[in-house]
Amino acid sequence: MLLSQYMRIEQDLKLDFKDVLIRPKRSTLRSRSQVMLEREYRFLHSNFEWSGIPIIAANMDHTGTIAMAKVLSKYKVMTALHKFITPEEWQEFSENHPDIMSYSFVSSGTSDDDFENLKNVVKITKCPFICLDIANGYSEHFAQFVAKTREAFPQNIIMAGNVVTGEMVEQLLLSGADIVKIGIGPGSVCTTRVKTGVGYPQLSAIIECADAAHGLKGLVCSDGGCTVPGDVSKAFAAGADFVMLGGMFAGHDECSGKIIVDENGKSYKRFYGMSSSEAMIKYHGSVSDYRASEGKSVNVPYRSKVENTIQDILGGIRSTCTYVGASRLKELSRCTTFIRVTQQANEIYK
């Protein structure tokens, strides 16, 4: 009886991408080519205007590479470059490809060293986008760090996360973020839900967090859980302004790591979460004795050039829009009706 005074259970239904499909509707569109995927945004704090396709390659050292940014920028798609890229590499990249800076994020953690590195890189590159990335966006320290970053970079666009509930979205926006990253545990190489029991179904998280953000004129980025182009469409349909992809961009030529060939002649590339033991040993020398790793390492099938994948993703989104009569990506959420599906349909979907 005493326990009920301290814990509670929410009875509201929470849904993931696999729990729903998008209901088709009558449409006047004759072809996918009529669908406009580019969006235009004016950001809450920086008042900066940007236009492009709001998909972002995740800031993992496998996918958030300079090579990835060079290719995706051709499609007006963004890349959050990983935080271990050196200032010297950033300088060379920005000098040779200044046009790509508007499709690139400088990523940072929240340590004092991270902050000094961030200041150095932003000064060198004049890159307008900053990604503040931490597994637990609910810490008071993180909100304070967002405010500190906003004070230091009043003209930059700041994306901060990760969180999954509306009240923390509002807190980070009020602290200085323009975009809040949504997702705890849905990523393909994230084990937070297994190791900690903490998380939130991604579709419901997007819907609830987008509602909170848009009321303050802020934006949200869905991070994690997309495994097929239809999931990306569902994320946008649920209200996400941006969608960040890791696993879907993994295994390509533009990703870091060598190609591994197994005894059967199949080719792979190594892909791991940035909170995995492999990543922590690589960048910090060990896993701290006070924590558990919250990521795993996998060999993903080698997938050649990323251009094939991005074209497949964009084609899928365009097709979604034609099914519901949305001539622009901006209209997709207004045209969407989600329907819940049965467990049997879930198995087919997988």
Q: Is the CB of residue 346 less than 8 Å from the CB of residue 18?
A: yes
CA atoms of 243 and 233, how far apart (whole Å): 9
CA atoms of 153 and 164, how far apart (whole Å): 25
**Active-site hit among 190, 209, 221, 321:** 190
Q: What are phi and psi of 335, to 5 degrees?
A: -95, -5
CA atoms of 77 and 82, how far apart (whole Å): 16
Q: Is 190 a catalytic residue?
A: yes
CA atoms of 124 and 335, how far apart (whole Å): 43
Q: Which of 204, 191, 272, 263 is nearest to 235 (CA)?
A: 204
The DSSP symbol for 184 reads S
DSSP assignment of 31-54: -GGG-B--EEEE-TTT--EEEEEE
Task: Tell me the catalytic residues.
Answer: 190
